[in-house]
Amino acid sequence: MNSIKLLALSLFTFISLTSVSLYAQELVTNGDFEAGGLAGWTTAANEPDGSGCGFFRYSGTESFNGNSIQAPPVGSHAVSSDSLDPPCSSVIYQDIAVPSGEEVSCFLIYYYENFADEFILGPGLNSSDVGTANQQARIDIMTENAGNFNTGSGVLENLVQTEPGDANTLDYTTLEFDLTKYAGSTVKLRASQASNRGVLLFAIDSVSCTIDQVDDEDGGNGSSSGCSSLAGAKNSSGPESLQGLLFYLLIPALVMIRRLRFK
């Protein structure tokens, strides 16, 4: 516990020394999944055999259908794909209205548990043809009117894509991305998975997209710089805004507390 106290003290010291105040307008509804159910989010699933396929809110170390999963990294709840038996294709998404003339930076935490032998890139998010192997998860920025399971022209940026050879278990991983280029439009942030070789638990938590306003010590106001786009990447190389830096310092402490709680 001493290490946690030291980390918290270091974070407090850093904030005190920056001499700036950060104000952030949140664009994501219920990004921490703590506000009861999946308010603000939309889910869809293709379950040809009716096997309990979908994205579900969960707490503790068991998924909605009772599969073993890592505890939510922050707070009491997260959301994860789940099924009793494959095949299963499922998505969860939220439409985000990106204001004009603002810099919008985003982050989320994702992690997964693949109960199949390996990841396989099959035909998009189609898992119903069990003769064609498909075992994958992804996160995309999409056009507002793109179909729920679209992986073609409706995808503006692919942020996360599992690949053959990836480990079957991924620990809490932070993703930073930027929506500034979509100013004046509405985009769809989607997490999805397709699995017909085994259950695939693909989880997200702490989803946030903010308009950051920095008030410096001289009284000037302005938007902070946004995080760089991470299309095709799995991990950000580091925060590029004050908000991102604070997030990177705070999340390890919260995750450490969470892990100690479930030891």
CA atoms within 13 A on the CB side of 82: 19
Angle at 70 between CA 240 and CA 159, to 5 degrees: 35
Domains of the chain as residue ranges with CATH: 23-238 (2.60.120.200)
Which pTM value belongs to this model?
A: 0.78
Residue 1 confidence (pLDDT): 46
Q: What is the pLDDT of residue 179?
A: 98
pLDDT in tens, 39-53: 999 999 987 666 789
The residues of the chain scoring below 50 in pLDDT are 1-6, 8-10, 12-21, 216-241, 245
Instruction: Report how far residue 50's alpha carbon sits from residue 52's, in angstroms, rounded to the nearest whole number.
Output: 6
Q: pLDDT tens digits for 88-116?
A: 999 999 999 999 999 999 999 999 999 99
